[in-house]
């Protein structure tokens, strides 16, 4: 029989595992929704991915999760996928405190990397943000709109209402039994026309 402390610790670990699995499930669902006319590459995680991402000595320095190439419109989309129940914390230079360990969900290397890549022709960079608590609402936010909106924000995280202020592109989705399928065709058509 577990004592109270062991039971509480077990419950915390279970919550952490479930929340991490939800992000991976979102990523898998998104990947399965990509049409055949697109080439995509999931960038490999480095040592941070071992031990389920709980290894605190290593941090992933990938600039994004996926490279998605729309062959129909000749556009490259470096994208970072994020999923949450409520909000995303984000890095900004003035938020850094060198005496503390930072755990931003939207990391410096992702923001800086996507900003760097966005300077090239036919490249559309941004975040795909999924809000599980809002009927799986999913949006693409261009890195330029993200930076413009967050540059003067007084708080260190963005929520659903903030994302709606960033000129987002809605990514329609349907639940198929237990998992979601995303309408990537419509998303690409819209995002390639807007940006």
10 within domain boundaries: no
DSSP state string for 136-149: TEEEEEEHHHHHHH
pLDDT range class, residue 154, cuts 50, 70, 90: very high
Range of the domain at 179: 24-45+59-194
Residue 53 lies in a domain: no
Helix (H) / strand (E) element for 180: namely strand 179-182
pLDDT at 47: 52
pLDDT at 49: 46
Considering the entire predicted model, what is its pTM?
0.82
Residue 135 within any structural domain of the chain: yes
pLDDT for res 9: 55
- Phi/psi for 4 (5° steps) reads -60, -45
Q: Are 143 and 90 in contact (CB under 8 A)?
A: no
User: How many structural domains comprise the chain?
Assistant: 1
pLDDT-above-70 percentage for the chain:
82
Asked if residue 9 belongs to a domain, the reply is no
Answer whether residue 136 is part of any domain. Answer: yes
9 Cβ contact list (under 8 Å, min separation 6): none
Whether residue 95 lies inside any domain: the answer is: yes
CATH number at residue 153: 3.40.1350.10
Between residues 103 and 9, the one the model is more confident about: 103
pLDDT confidence bin for 12, thresholds 50/70/90? low
- Per-residue pLDDT averaged across 75-99, rounded? 93
Q: What is the pLDDT of residues 160-189, one digit of tens each?
A: 999 999 999 999 999 988 899 999 999 999
| Residue 87 maps to a domain | yes
What token pair was written down for 61? 């320095």
């Amino acid at each position: 029989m577990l004592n109270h402390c062991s039971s509480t610790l077990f419950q915390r670990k279970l919550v952490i595992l479930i929340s991490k699995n939800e992000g991976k499930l979102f990523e898998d669902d998104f990947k399965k929704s990509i049409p055949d006319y697109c080439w995509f590459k999931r960038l490999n995680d480095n040592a941070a991915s071992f031990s389920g991402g709980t290894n605190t000595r290593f941090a992933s320095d990938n600039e994004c999760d996926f490279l998605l190439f729309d062959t129909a419109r000749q556009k490259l989309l470096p994208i970072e996928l994020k999923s949450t129940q409520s909000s995303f914390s984000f890095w900004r230079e003035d938020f850094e405190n060198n005496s503390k360990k930072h755990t931003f969900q939207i990391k410096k290397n992702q923001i800086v990397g996507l900003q760097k890549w966005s300077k090239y022709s036919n490249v559309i960079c941004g975040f795909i943000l999924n809000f599980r608590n809002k009927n799986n609402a999913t949006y693409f936010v261009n890195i330029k709109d993200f930076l413009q909106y967050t540059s003067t924000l007084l708080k260190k995280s963005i929520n659903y209402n903030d994302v709606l202020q960033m000129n987002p592109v809605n990514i329609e989705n349907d639940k198929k039994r237990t998992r979601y399928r995303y309408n990537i065709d419509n998303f690409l058509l819209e995002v390639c026309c807007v940006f």
